[in-house]
């Protein structure tokens, strides 16, 4: 019943207070009505406008100032070497020089912390099946596949733009999947065909609705000891809410200008 009231309140406020059942709110000035509508919509959908580091710290099991601090922590259930992190940083710089801006603007590139973490994690954990959503200029794609060239395993990359299937020319086992039509339904269908996954990397649409949908899809697809990694976890409340409800352990890492997340399920 409470959920029905919340839904009605938010819709009512959006209509400017036209529904008679909540006429007592008409006395509010427009600014307060707008604020109330915003708060109620946050309850329904989450915050579409990004969140603070303070809020993320309260929702997750910890925030780290960088990837080296994450790897050094005894709180995370991962065995990753600082040496592999350093090698990942060096490789990232090479790939950025080659690929940055090749399909889209440089702002679509991942950052060095996320790239080095993925490289080092794959070398240490040797996941067999990896899903990546969002290819863009292929920085993350190449980082992952360079690690898989050494360890074996397969990367399945999903994107909505056919230009992104040109980003990798190496010898790693890469399957590019173009999403068409209803993107949510198509992603669900194609992920079902892939089967169980060891590592899921989100770096596509960073709006609340898509992030929440994709995190739930990843949880269903991952093996029990699988890992989900997400760029831009400060773009919406989706990561923080999933940390409270669905993830076993969840961490955030600052990466030059934004946060990425790492979670076990």
In the chain, the DSSP E strands lie at: 63-64, 129-133, 154-159, 173-178, 197-202, 222-231, 249-255, 258-264
Q: What is d(CA 141, CA 135) in angstroms, rounded to the nearest whole number?
A: 7
Ramachandran class of 169: left when φ > 0, alpha when ψ lies in -120 to 50, beta otherwise? alpha
Which pLDDT does position 258 carry in this prediction? 93
Query: DSSP secondary-structure letter at 202?
Result: E
User: Does residue 94 contact residue 137 with C-beta atoms inside 8 Å?
Assistant: no
Which pLDDT does position 24 carry in this prediction? 39
- Mean pLDDT for the chain? 86
At the top level of CATH, the class of 53-264 is alpha beta
Q: What is d(CA 164, CA 134) in angstroms, rounded to the nearest whole number?
A: 9
Which pLDDT does position 4 carry in this prediction? 29
| Residue 42 pLDDT exceeds 80 | no
Dump pLDDT digits (tens) for 214-244: 999 999 999 999 999 999 999 999 999 999 9
Q: What is d(CA 223, CA 246) in angstroms, rounded to the nearest whole number?
A: 14
When comparing pLDDT for 33 and 13, which is higher? 33
Query: DSSP secondary-structure letter at 165?
Result: G
pLDDT band at 186 (very low <50, low <70, confident <90, very high): very high
Closest by Cα among 229, 235, 237 to 258: 235
Which pLDDT does position 49 carry in this prediction? 62
Query: In the chain, where are the structural domains located?
Result: 2-45, 53-264
Residue with structure tokens 């760029």? 231
| Residue 8 pLDDT exceeds 60 | no
Least-confidence region, from 45-54, 67-76, 90-99, 156-165? 45-54
Burial of 128 (0-12, 13-18, 19+ CB in 10 A): middle
Dump pLDDT digits (tens) for 101-132: 999 999 899 999 999 999 999 999 999 999 99
Mean pLDDT of 85-97: 97
| Residue 2 pLDDT exceeds 80 | no
């Amino acid at each position: 019943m409470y959920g029905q009231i919340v839904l009605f309140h938010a819709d009512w406020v959006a209509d400017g207070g036209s529904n008679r059942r909540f006429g007592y709110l008409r006395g509010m000035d427009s600014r307060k009505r707008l604020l109330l509508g915003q708060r109620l919509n946050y309850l329904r959908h989450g915050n579409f406008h990004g969140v603070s580091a303070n809020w993320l710290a309260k929702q997750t099991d910890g925030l780290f100032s960088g990837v080296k601090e994450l790897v050094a922590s005894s709180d995370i259930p991962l065995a990753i070497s600082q040496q592999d992190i350093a090698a990942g940083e060096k490789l990232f710089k090479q790939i950025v020089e080659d690929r940055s801006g090749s399909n889209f603007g440089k702002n679509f590139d991942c950052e060095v912390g996320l790239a080095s973490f993925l490289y080092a994690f794959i070398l240490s954990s040797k996941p067999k099946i990896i899903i990546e959503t969002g290819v863009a200029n292929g920085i993350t794609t190449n980082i992952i596949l360079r690690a898989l060239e050494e360890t074996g395993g397969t990367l399945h990359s999903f994107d909505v733009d056919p230009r992104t299937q040109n980003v990798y020319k190496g010898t790693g086992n890469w399957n590019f999947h173009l999403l068409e039509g209803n993107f949510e339904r198509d992603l669900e269908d194609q992920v079902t065909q892939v089967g169980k996954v060891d590592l899921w990397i989100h770096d596509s649409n960073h709006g609340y609705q898509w992030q929440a949908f994709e995190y739930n899809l990843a949880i269903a697809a991952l093996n029990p000891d699988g890992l989900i990694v997400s760029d831009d976890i400060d773009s919406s409340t989706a990561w923080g809410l999933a940390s409270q409800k669905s993830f076993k352990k969840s961490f955030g890492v600052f990466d030059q200008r934004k946060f990425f997340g790492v979670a076990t399920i």
